[in-house]
């Protein structure tokens, strides 16, 4: 690194747009620099900062390894990437956008399953009748394992799903899913319901600092400045 504070921001999609709006509200103007693709940038008035535009899931990796000092990404991606997130990063500020719940959803026709405890009972019978474990389709492999272990659910297998997860039960590719939802409408349209105690995480975009990054007193001061701008934005 070049002694600058590395700030990792989402490079595309809705999260990038919402992030730009939030930055503008916080009075932080970003100028893209470097080669034509513009995956680097600067903040006007803060010469000690280098902005890197990367995909949101990569931001979690950069914060984990310390290749970025701070970044903006969803809490769901941070907690999925790091089992011990609170040991490795500091959550500086929830930014109020990118809100989504990570939930356990099962077919609405499962009248006998409302809670995680029902799921465990059901999975035992399922295994006996079908000769295999119930499959949980998700891209949140680690969040799923941790939550299921906490709630005493064991009789399942994870089927990794990288898209259209909510369609997998109807397609016969999985029995239930762990996915993000905002209003629940997509789940409902796919014949699914969220379990009563099945909310794993209420996520939103966060300003997050890496504990593994090479911090100096100067960089810590810049971090405080940036965080203060975001805090002022809320109170304004």
Partner 1 sequence: MPLATTPADIEALDALAQRLMGIFTRAGYERIAPAVIQPAGLFLDVVGEELRARTYVFTDPDGAELCLRPDLTVPTCRLHLERHAGGNTPARYCYSGSAFRYQPAGADRAHPREFRQAGIESFGAPDRERDDAAVLALIVEALRDAGLDGLEFRIGDLGLFTALVNALPMPERWRWRLKHQFWRPEAFRSELARLTSGAGQTMGLPRELLDRLDPADPGGAEALVIEYLDKSGHELIGARTASEIAQRLLAEAADMRETPLPAETAALIEGYVGVKAPARETVDGLARLTRGHGVDLSAGLDAYQRRLDLIGKAGVSLSGAEFSAEFGRNLEYYTGFVFEVMAPALGHKSPVAGGGRYDSLLAEVGARGQVPAVGACIHTERLLAALPEAAP
Interface stretch with partner 1, choices 72-80, 92-100, 155-163, 211-219 (CB under 8 A): 155-163
User: For partner 1, which is the closer residue by CB, 149 or 224?
Assistant: 149
Pick one of 41, 66, 94, 191: the residue that binds partner 1 (CB under 8 A).
191
List Cβ neighbours of 84 (8 Å cut-off, separation of 6 or more): none
Q: Minimum Å distance from CB 124 to partner 1?
A: 7
Q: Minimum Å distance from CB 88 to partner 1?
A: 11
What's the N-to-C CA distance of the chain in angstroms? 35
How many whole angstroms separate alpha carbon 8 and alpha carbon 216?
Answer: 18
How many whole angstroms separate alpha carbon 207 and alpha carbon 219?
Answer: 16
Q: Which of residues 41-60 bind partner 1 (CB under 8 A)?
A: none
User: For partner 1, which is the closer residue by CB, 62 or 122?
Assistant: 122
Pick one of 36, 111, 185, 236: the residue that binds partner 1 (CB under 8 A).
111
Confirm or reject binding of residue 155 to partner 1 (CB under 8 A).
yes
Confirm or reject binding of residue 184 to partner 1 (CB under 8 A).
no
Backbone CA torsion sign across 229, 204, 163, 61: positive
Number of residues lying near partner 1 (CB under 8 A): 41
Interface stretch with partner 1, choices 67-75, 96-104, 106-114, 216-224 (CB under 8 A): 106-114
Residue 50 to residues 54, 152, 219, Cα–Cα distance (Å): 13, 45, 11
Confirm or reject binding of residue 12 to partner 1 (CB under 8 A).
no
Pick one of 86, 112, 202, 218: the residue that binds partner 1 (CB under 8 A).
112
Q: Which neighbouring-strand residues pair with 10?
A: 54
Name the helix (H) or strand (E) containing 167: none
Exposed/middle/buried for 62, CB within 10 Å: 0-12, 13-18, 19+? Answer: buried
Confirm or reject binding of residue 170 to partner 1 (CB under 8 A).
yes
Confirm or reject binding of residue 107 to partner 1 (CB under 8 A).
yes
């Amino acid at each position: 690194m070049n002694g600058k504070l590395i700030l990792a921001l989402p490079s595309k999609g809705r999260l990038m747009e919402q992030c730009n709006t939030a930055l503008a509200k916080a009075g932080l103007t970003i100028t893209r620099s470097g080669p034509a693709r513009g995956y680097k940038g600067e903040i006007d008035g803060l010469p000690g900062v280098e902005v890197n535009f990367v995909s949101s899931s990569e931001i979690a990796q950069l914060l984990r390894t310390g290749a970025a000092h701070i970044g903006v990404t969803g809490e769901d991606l941070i907690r999925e990437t790091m089992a011990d997130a609170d040991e490795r990063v500091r959550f500086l500020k929830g930014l109020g956008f990118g809100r989504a719940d990570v939930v356990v959803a099962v077919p609405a026709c499962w009248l006998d399953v409302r809670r995680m405890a029902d799921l465990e009972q059901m999975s035992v019978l399922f295994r006996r009748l079908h000769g295999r474990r119930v499959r949980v389709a998700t891209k949140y492999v680690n969040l799923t394992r941790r939550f299921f272990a906490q709630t005493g659910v064991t009789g399942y297998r994870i089927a990794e799903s990288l898209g259209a997860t909510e369609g997998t039960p109807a397609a016969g590719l999985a029995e239930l899913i762990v996915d993000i939802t905002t209003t629940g409408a997509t789940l409902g349209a796919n014949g699914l319901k969220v379990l009563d105690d099945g909310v794993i995480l209420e996520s939103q975009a966060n300003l997050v600092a890496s504990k593994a990054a090479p911090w100096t007193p100067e960089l810590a001061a810049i971090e405080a400045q940036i965080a203060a701008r975001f805090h002022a934005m809320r109170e304004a």
